[in-house]
Amino acid sequence: MNTKVLLAVVGPTAIGKTALGIQLAKHFDTEIISADSRQFFKEMKIGTAVPSGEELNQAPHHFIQHKSIFEPYSVGDFEKDAIALLDNLYQKKDIAIMVGGSGLYVDAVISGLDEFPKVDPQIRETLNKELEDNGLESLQKELKQRDPEYYKTVDLENPHRLIRALEVCRAANKPYSSFLNQQKPERLFKSLYIGIDAPREVVYQRINSRVELMMEAKLLEEAKKLYPYKELNALQTVGYKELFEYIDGKCTLDFAVSEIKKNTRRFAKRQLTWLRKNETILWVPYNTEQEKVLQMVTDRIKTNQYA
């Protein structure tokens, strides 16, 4: 019988996942696994809203700024590393916390990943070039032709998802969807998703405020340092791409900042679209008192109500 528990704190960007994760870690005297795929990279501190030193000191954190942008690090790598860490952590703790806005990475740890064929990196480079030269629509058309089933369900505005699907289609000469929904590994822990919910206007206001704070914290200077490496996959990220456009002289700084806000709002919308498909999430309003949230989670654990 599984007696170990993983609590996954999810929700749109800037909604307060870090704060709730810390409160849960302190309450259950345990440690936090970050599942934010951009906070892994030590060169990208300001633009990824890495927890502050004060926050990091309140509870042990893992997978924050532990990699370089020059090191490839996939969701499959993260799944293996996170499961290995949990195996060790569960030797001394019954509960662990996972916090992050990268839904695929959270789900990979909880449910496992489908197995895909190896893809020649050149295929991804070619697709990125096609995206740059011909725009998103060209990728959408190819995916519709190669894999009409996945085309119906994928977020067609997400270039990362389109490129991932097409690189598999091209490498295997088979539809991406044919590799989905395979038999998943059985985990030796139970899991509970805790989602932080808020009205759209609250999410958007928080995003706008966060972007302003990032600019005050010298995000532009960080982007300038990273500019020579702007083609790296890790840097195809909201907050950096827009500032690279400004550095290239293609727009004003004010326009770049407004684009960061707009694209972050779009990203939050995609995060919520992903999460809404998961009917097991325990949703809590963003302004719920933390003591009440802790009690709700404790009650779920006591009554064995998991994902």
Binding-site annotation: residue ranges: 11-18
- Residue set of the binding site for ATP: 11-18
Query: β-pairing, 95-99 with 5-10?
Result: parallel
- Residue set of the binding site for substrate: 13-18
Give the DSSP H/E element, type plus range, for residue 147: none
Q: Where are the beta strands (DSSP E) in 64-169?
A: 95-99
Give the DSSP H/E element, type plus range, for residue 183: none
Report the C-alpha gap between 57 and 42 in whole angstroms: 17
**Burial state string for 178-206 with b = 16 or more CB within 10 A and e = fewer than 16:** ebeeeeeeebebbbbbbbbbbeeebbbeb
Exposure on the CB side of residue 247, measured as CA atoms within 13 A: 18
Give the DSSP H/E element, type plus range, for residue 53: helix 53-58
CB 147 within 8 A of CB 177: yes
Q: How many CB atoms lie within 10 A of CB 50?
A: 22
Q: Which two tokens stand for residue 289?
A: 């008192």
Q: Residue 117 to residues 74, 127, 176, 178: CA-CA distances in angstroms?
A: 14, 17, 10, 11
Give the DSSP H/E element, type plus range, for residue 17: helix 17-27
Q: Residue 241 to residues 19, 47, 142, 208, 233: CA-CA distances in angstroms?
A: 27, 11, 25, 17, 11
* Number of residues written out for the chain: 307
